[in-house]
Amino acid sequence: MPITSVTQDTDALTMTVVSDFPVPVQRLWDAYADPRMLERFWGPAEWPATFTRHDFRPGGRSHYWMTGPDGTRSCGYWEFLAMDHGRSFEVADGFADESGTPNPEMPRLRMTLGFEATAEGSRLTTTTWFSSAEDLRQLLEMGMEEGMTSAMGQMDAVLQDLSSFAAGKGVQTQVLTETVVRFSRIILGTPEQVRQAHRDPQLLRRWLLGPDGWRMSDCQVATTVGESYRFAWEKEADGSGGFAMTGKLIELEEPYREVTTESMEGVPGEPNINDQTLTALDGGTLLTLVVTYPSPEVRDMILETGMTEGMEASYRRLEEMLTPARS
């Protein structure tokens, strides 16, 4: 069990949990930065977490829910208040509805997580501040301490599983709900390099091609919220088979996050919503694309086109293009 101490201070309205792990600090930090790892231990074992948004940076937000044995969902959010990369971060932590909107009728906490090296590996100190004695009592009665103990008990296995989240694994596709799918890939490069490759038309024409044998015939990039974009492709050999994707940029937080709509040109229906985040990890940049489809039928139709394979071919080109910049 990694937890070495749990201390409650009813005067200061705090609970402090100290945990030790036989891994470097960076590995422990990355477990919180990467939502694929975080949701394997955040919450009790009987209430696994699903993160639909995880902007691991100052000013960012996370939205998640935990699913109970009977299918009941308990939704929550984080607001990242401060971050000292590799050393600590501070969040406001609270209950929410499924869209991530805070529930004002439930307690809201402040939580800091501090990371430090030890002779055996690393130490995590988690301090939670409660707004009132009543909030402290309510959350302890709801099983907060037991839940945290259960959550930390799952971390050793996650931290030792180096292969599942390494660079070079290719695109991972995870169906989160009937209409929401998460695509993830670690790309060798910094978030700034990966972002630049997404907004420079000359660079986009080199890598955003899907399977071999295609070229971009149009590359209009949206760089300001409210602007439209248009990407079109055709077969390299004879210019046949052309198609285009269009949409609008609806949120932008450089260089870490962008949200766009996406539709196939000429095809009626509601657009997809694409929420892409870039997170710095020890092995490069974790690109996470969460796509919300208008219906389960549209989701299945698009996934069956070989979308994942096309994404992997493009990201492999992107990585090869960025590798010289890292040397």
Q: Which domain holds residue 126?
A: 3-165
98 and 79 in a common domain: yes
Q: Which of 116, 145, 165 is the last residue of a domain?
A: 165
Measure the CA–CA gap between 295 and 297, rounded to whole angstroms: 5
Give dist(CA 219, CA 266) in Å, integer.
17
Please check whether residues 85 and 119 belong to one and the same domain.
yes
What CATH number did the domain enclosing 244 receive?
3.30.530.20
Q: Please check whether residues 206 and 157 belong to one and the same domain.
A: no
Q: Are residues 181 and 153 in the same domain?
A: no
Is 63:44 a contact under the CB 8 Å cutoff?
Answer: no
Q: Which two tokens stand for residue 282?
A: 């020890």
Tell which of 110, 131, 165 closes a domain: 165
Give helix 307-326 / helix 191-199 axis angle, nearest 10°: 120
Output the CA–CA distances (angstroms, integers) from residue 207 to 168, 184, 239, 264, in the order listed: 17, 17, 18, 20
Q: Per-residue pLDDT tens, the chain, 327 aa: give them.
A: 588 888 888 889 998 999 999 999 999 999 999 999 999 988 888 889 999 999 999 999 999 999 999 999 999 999 999 999 999 999 999 999 988 899 988 888 999 999 999 999 999 999 999 888 888 888 778 777 777 777 777 888 888 775 566 666 789 999 999 999 999 999 999 999 999 999 999 999 999 999 999 999 999 999 999 999 999 999 999 999 999 999 999 999 999 999 999 999 999 999 999 999 999 998 799 999 999 999 999 999 999 988 999 999 999 999 999 986 554
Domains contained in the chain, number: 2
Query: What is the value of pTM for the model shown?
Result: 0.86
Residue 113 sits in the same domain as residue 195:
no
Length of the chain: 327
**Same domain (yes/no): 129, 187:** no
Amino acid identity of residue 21, one-letter, is F
**DSSP letter for each residue of 128-191:** EE-SSHHHHHHHHHTTHHHHHHHHHHTHHHHHH--GGG-TTS--EEEE-SSSEEEEEEEESS-H
Q: 176 and 161, same structural domain? A: no
Q: Does one domain contain both 108 and 80?
A: yes
Residue 49: which of 33, 31, 68 has the closest Cα? 68
Alpha-carbon dihedral angle through residues 141, 145, 147, 150, given to the nearest 10 degrees: -150
Co-location of 146 and 177 in the same domain: no
Place of tokens 């891994």: 23
**Residue 182 shares a structural domain with residue 151:** no
Instruction: Specify whether 298 is located in the same domain as 179.
Output: yes
On whether both 177 and 319 belong to a single domain, the answer is yes
Among the candidates 143, 165, 187, a domain finishes at 165
